[in-house]
Amino acid sequence: MKKEEIVKEILELKKKRNAVIVAHNYQVDDVQEVADVIGDSLALSKYCADVKKDVIVFCGVHFMAESAKILSPDKIVLLPEIDAGCPMADMVTKEALIEEKKKHPNATVVCYINSSAEVKSECDICCTSSNAVNIVRSVKSKDILFVPDMNLGSYVAKMVPDKNIILWEGYCITHHRIKISELERAKELRPNAKVLVHPECQPDIVAAADFVGSTKQIIDYAANSPDKEFIIGTEMGVLFKLKRDNPDKSFYLLSQGLVCPNMKKTSLLSVYRSLKEMNYEINLDETIRLKAKKALDNMLEIS
Ligand code: CIZ
Ligand code: SF4
């Protein structure tokens, strides 16, 4: 099928199923083009909770569709590619976390939204890359067990030095592999460009950047900045919105390695199949869902 035909089929099926399509900032351009809304995982999950539709097609990775289901238990949440996972989220399991918690009985457990619903169910409060610093500041205890991203955790530790942050050794394979030599080379090539990076990058990259933020914060920064050139240190999918919304500005990817293979599994064809066959439905154990929801609600109360 040609692209236009697939899009037409998707739009018809969307109507028939009373569905909405949401796409993460890291999805391929074709999928972002067909989506009703594009955003980060939390913004999309909140949108899904409020939208008056029966079916949500969540174009992203597994933990994101789970977050949508946590907040929208009565809607059908579909993940078009069931193998689209997040290797970082998989670096912590509920069982391993329960063992680690025993070693730090006085610590508050803060978990990055990039974690499974099961892991969230064992945490006190969630955070995103937008609000991690504020969430950690708001926690009363000095000791904080931060899971699973050690790079985001290190960034937060630097910003909130009065807390004792116990790191988990997880990381995003895509952001973690960026090397300082790549950043230096990019700056040599574009000396006037501002460097905007995600806190999932390693501390040396974060320290050398002009701005550190989540996908939404990077997108907002570029839109509001008087600067015209930017080196982007997060997954390449954000270039879609950056270029679409800022035709007078130039964007350069910090490294060709900034591609998340799991985010790229979802295509227009997968969205079409998902709506046609109602695949793959995300369901959660109700006890887990309620406990995970508590961690998300605790975050939403503060941010
Ligand atoms: O929370 C998200 O959507 C992720 C994984 C990244 C970001 O910075 O938006
Ligand atoms: Fe996970 Fe990294 Fe891919 Fe985000 S970019 S989904 S953190 S592997």
Q: What is the pLDDT of residues 90-143, one digit of tens each?
A: 999 999 999 999 999 999 999 999 999 999 999 999 999 999 999 999 999 999
Closest ligand 2 atom to residue 172 Cα is 2
Q: Decide if 148 contacts 91 (C-beta within 8 A).
A: yes
Rounded to the nearest whole angstrom, what is the distance from the C-alpha of residue 234 to the centroid of ligand 2?
Answer: 10
Q: Measure the CA–CA gap between 187 and 193, rounded to whole angstroms.
A: 7
Q: 201: Cβ below 6 Å to ligand 2?
A: no
Q: Is the pLDDT of residue 275 over 90?
A: yes
Nearest protein CA to atom 8 of ligand 1, as residue: 214
Q: 88: Cβ below 6 Å to ligand 2?
A: yes
Say what the pLDDT of residue 153 is: 98
Distances (CA, A) of 289 to 67, 118, 146, 239, 273: 9, 8, 21, 34, 27
Q: Measure the CA–CA gap between 141 and 136, rounded to whole angstroms.
A: 9
Q: Is the pLDDT of residue 33 over 90?
A: yes
Rounded to the nearest whole angstrom, what is the distance from the C-alpha of residue 116 to the centroid of ligand 1?
Answer: 14
pTM: 0.97
Say what the pLDDT of residue 1 is: 87
Q: Decide if 37 contacts 266 (C-beta within 8 A).
A: no
Q: 126: Cβ below 6 Å to ligand 2?
A: no
| Token digits of residue 229 | 């050139």
Q: Which strands sit side by side in the sheet containing 143-147, from one edge to the other?
A: 125-127, 108-112, 143-147, 164-167
In tens, the pLDDT along 44-78 reads 999 999 999 999 999 999 999 999 999 999 999 99
Q: How confident is the model at residue 303 (pLDDT cuts 50, 70, 90)?
A: confident
Place of tokens 């910003």: 159
Percent share of the chain, pLDDT over 70: 100
Q: Decide if 55 contacts 78 (C-beta within 8 A).
A: yes
Give me the domains of the chain, ranges plus CATH numbers.
3-85+263-283 (3.40.50.10800), 89-171 (3.40.50.10800), 174-253 (3.40.50.10800)
